[in-house]
Structure 1
Amino acid sequence: MYKGIITAALLAAGISSAGAATLDTVKQRGTLVCGVSTGFAGFSAPDSQGNFKGLDVDYCRALAAGILGDPNKVRYVALTAQNRFTALQSGEIDVLYRNSTETFLRGTTLGLRQGPVNFYDGQGFVVKKDLGVKDLKGLSGATVCVAQGTTHEVTLGDYGRANGIDWKPLVFDRPDTMYQTFFGGRCDAMTQDASALAGAVATAAPKPDDYVVLPQTISKEPLGPFTRNGDEVWSDIITWLHYGLVEAEELGVTQANVEEMAKSQVPAIQRLLGASGDLGSRLGLANNWLVGAIKAGGNYGEIFERNVGKSSPLKLERGLNATWSKGGLMYAIPFK
């Protein structure tokens, strides 16, 4: 009996130690290493000074602020679709925020854990307006630019076979090369997440008004972060960062008012911002860690609007990415 108790305790201690590995490494290093894309407008792309901007980047900044007290303590590693998961598996990066679709196979075969969805998307198509295409059947026989190593490449083939559309894929290993080729006129259409297509038209097209993103999508593309299996504490931090940003939007906590709201007498706000309870310390963090995270870039709604919403060049509607109370799918698990 005692032997079993001791064994269980040792196993629990070992799991706890393994689960805290990445958190300890980040704290000791003093810098978060965040895997992002080589350039997706609205999500993660370097500006003219080489500083990464975007929705995924703001998650990296919020994470660094919550853990290290400074949103600028991040080193960004630009990754392609082909090397993104390998970089995480090998420990080259601490977390992957690279508008990556979560799927069954990715969740069960890579040795990685999928975090909560931070952007609901779908695979779409962009064409030049003068092509006269109104729907996907009008693309039968068309050459379609698509990125290698993505769900889009697989879905394009599946959808074409299922619907009798004989399109001809032209595959690229980098999105920037794909954009240059499409806008150069070599492909009749380009397929990617609808949000990424809107970003490509807004930032890479020589004349954005000459192009249209078709209204149809052919897949579900739930995008979110990835962490390593067996690192439970770190994965939990990634999970609760997202829910904290969504909960902040639900409760009216913003980048501008978060410090004042930390003095609120509303129980839900007190728990979220660490004024009561010990929800931060259970993750190995300060109880008010989300104050810093929200101060870095705002709540989920602010992050969305600034990077991909109406205040951005992409001008996307909230749609499925609105909070549940406004008809969307963003829903924070209660902080209690």
Structure 2
Amino acid sequence: MMASLMLGVAGAPMARAGSGDTLAAVKARGEVLCGVHPARHGFAAPDSLGKWSGFEVDFCHAIAAAVFGDASKVRFVALSSQQRFPAIQSGEVDVLARNVTATLSRDTALGLNFAPPVFYTGTGFLVRKDDGIAKIEDLDGAAICMAPGSTTERNVAQIFAARGLTYTPVVIENNKQLVDAYVTGRCDALTKDKAALPGVRAFDTEDPSAHIMLPGIYSKEPLAMAVRQGDDNWYDLVKWVTYATFNAEELGVSQDNVDEMKNSEDPDVQALLGVIGDNGAKLGVDNGWVYAIVKQVGNYKDIYMRHFGPYSPVALDRDQNALWTEGGLLYGFPMQ
């Protein structure tokens, strides 16, 4: 099926996938269109020169490395909570890597397919230390800042209803305005995925330590990349890019040693890096696709530590985001 065309920012024709072959459209266009959060510490944000970085940004780079052998061939599209699903449904983007929680309704009613989760988190609450709030029950009657159109909005309603508590939602789409509303005292608490809360404290330039997270995680929020239903080949590629980062870490293949590991006698490592077999051809890409991912972007640990390691601005323990062999939930399917 022929890929349709759309006009790029400069008015030049740009291949766009309709209901057909997304991989073919991406190759014809020469870049992956990746929908990301406009600005979320650790996950996705542009710098002053417009260069994007973040955990989910790196998974977009990993897809580009698999398709083109060049991780830089990505165009990032900043999407609000309200824009993200129409953007992937309409073909404005090829993949959504924007803090999307995989749920049954999104998987079915929204026409999405989810790759394996790349980050496990859950709803959390940030409060001011001096307010003496130590548990959810202390928020009875509170004003709580939250983003619209998110699973967090629904989760908070369920959490408070289950405990017989009341609250006043302060719903703001723009992330900076949302955080400002909390920092300036318009809200008693701010709620987001718990992984996002450490970054929020940085917005209080006078005293970031004045804010604390309440203990506990109050929902299941498996964040995963999403693609449109109806294109199994593209779904397979995005899914196996994810598994490749897990498997590379498990096999000890990292950005630092990937060239050396190409000489490994371990058949699993040889298959992973395309020394033997034709896994790439099965997905419609070069057989060295995983080598390109690890060399240019890294394995899962490389990516995680870059953005959430102890020396990063948003330091987070891996917890559930560790390999299954280390007590976490990450489990890469066999690449055979």
Counterpart for residue 3 of structure 2: none
CA distance in 1, matches of 2:241, 2:130: 45
The equivalent of 2:307 in structure 1 is 307
3-state SS, counterpart of residue 268 of structure 1: helix
Whole-Å Cα distance in 2 between the matches of residues 210 and 233 of structure 1? Answer: 49
- What is the CA-CA distance between 1:263 and the residue it aligns to? 2.1
Task: String of CA shifts for 1:183-222, please: whole Å, max 9, x gaps.
Answer: 1111100000001111211355542111111112211100
Aligned to 1:192: 192
Determine the structure 1 residue equivalent to 2:251. Answer: 251
Q: Distance in 1 between matches of 2:130 and 2:18?
A: 57
Distance 2:174 2:96 in 1: 18
Is the counterpart of residue 263 in structure 1 residue 242 in structure 2? no
Residue 280 of structure 2 aligns with an amino acid whose one-letter code is G
> Equivalent residue for 2:180?
180
Equivalent position of 2:87 in the other structure:
87
Per-residue CA deviations over 1:111-158 (Å, capped at 9, x if unaligned) read 111111000001000001001111110111110001000011111111
Given the superposition, is the C-alpha separation of residues 265 and 324 from structure 1 closer, same or farther in structure 2, using an over 3 Å criterion?
A: same
Show the counterpart of 2:228.
Answer: 228
Q: Following TM superposition, by how much is the alpha carbon of 1:49 offset from its aligned partner in structure 2, in angstroms?
A: 2.1
Contact 1:145 1:187 in 2 (8 A): yes
Write the distance in 2 (CA, Å) between the matches of 1:206 and 1:92: 40
Q: Go from structure 1 to structure 2 and tell me whether the alpha carbon gap of 1:204 and 1:247 turns closer, same or farther (over 3 Å shift).
A: farther
| One-letter amino acid matched to 1:96 | L
> SS of the residue aligned with 2:96?
strand
Does structure 1 residue 72 correspond to structure 2 residue 72? Answer: yes
Q: Work out the CA distance in 1 between the residues paired with 2:19 and 2:144.
A: 43
Tell me what 2:105 maps to: 105
**For the Cα contact (< 8 Å) 2:31–2:74, is it kept in 1?**
yes
Shift of residue 164 of structure 1? 1.2
Matched AA of 1:332: G
The alignment's TM-score, normalised by the length of structure 2, stands at 0.92
Identity percentage of aligned residues: 44
Residues paired across the two proteins, number: 320
Distance 2:309 2:219 in 1: 21
TM-superposed deviation, 1:88: 0.5
The CA deviation string for residues 85-128 of structure 1, in whole angstroms up to 9 with x for no partner, is 10000000010000111111001101111111000001000001
Relative to structure 1, is the Cα distance of residues 203 and 60 closer, same or farther in structure 2, using a 3 angstrom cutoff? farther
Looking at structure 2, the residues matched to 57 and 300 of structure 1 have their Cα atoms a distance apart, in angstroms, of 13
2:335 partner letter: F
User: Residue type matched to 2:102 in 1?
Assistant: E
Contact 1:81–1:148 (8 Å) recurs in 2: yes
Aligned to 2:59: 59
Contact 1:121-1:222 within 8 A present in 2 as well: yes
Is 1:240 aligned with 2:225?
Answer: no
TM-score, normalised by the number of residues in structure 1 = 0.92
* Cα displacement (A) at 1:297: 1.8
Stretches of structure 2 that go unaligned for 5 or more consecutive residues are 1-16
SS in 1 for 2:81: coil
Cα–Cα, structure 1 residues 180 and 283, in superposed 2: closer, same or farther, change >3 Å?
same
**Which amino acid in the other structure matches residue 227 of structure 2?**
T
Structure number with the higher helix fraction is 1
Displacement after TM superposition at 1:168 (Å): 1.0
